[in-house]
Every structure is written in C-alpha cells, then in structure tokens.
C-alpha cells in the first residue's frame, strides 16, 4: 500500500505528539507499512520513545522532497 507523501508526513507529525509509547509504536508500524517496500525499516521488538523519534526522522528524510538552493556562494 502506497500513500501520498504529504499524508505520511502528517502522520509522522501526529506520531511525534503522542506520549503513550504503545500507541506511538502502533502508529509507527502503520506509517512503516504505508512506505514503499524498499523504504521500510525493520522495527525492533523493544523500542523507546527516542528510538521511535529517530525512526520517524529517518522516514521523514527518506520521503521529503529534496531542497535546492540552500548553499550560498
């Protein structure tokens, strides 16, 4: 199942706001399933809130469009 990148980015943002680790983990698993197979990550069986945030950041970078023109001459 492939989802629109904006939808996934919105879900990532919502997941960051959740403080309940089991709920956060479930949403992370759902987001991971929305990604194309080649972009999915293997989720560990035991994970912390910081670990989830790190994985969300990785997913965000992976699906965000590239930003051009940031370097100054």
What tens digit of pLDDT does each residue of 17-50 get? 999 999 999 999 999 999 888 889 998 888 898 9
- For residue 1, the model assigns a pLDDT of 43
For residue 3, give the H/E element and its range. none
The predicted-structure confidence for 4-18, as pLDDT tens digits, reads as follows 888 999 999 999 999
51 CB neighbour count, 10 Å cutoff: 15
- For residue 51, the model assigns a pLDDT of 93
Pairwise CA distance, residues 34 & 39, whole Å: 10
Pairwise CA distance, residues 23 & 49, whole Å: 11
Return the DSSP state at 42.
P
**pLDDT band, residue 53 (cuts 50/70/90):** very high
Taking the CA of residue 29 as centre, how many other CA atoms within 13 Å lie in the half-sphere pointing to its CB? 11
């Amino acid at each position: 199942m492939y989802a629109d990148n904006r939808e996934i980015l919105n879900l990532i943002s919502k997941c960051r706001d959740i403080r309940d680790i089991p709920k956060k983990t479930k949403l992370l698993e759902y987001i991971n399933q929305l990604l194309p197979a080649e972009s999915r990550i293997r989720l560990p069986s035991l994970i912390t809130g910081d670990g989830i945030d790190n994985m969300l950041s990785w997913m965000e970078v992976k699906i965000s469009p590239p930003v051009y023109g940031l370097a100054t001459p």
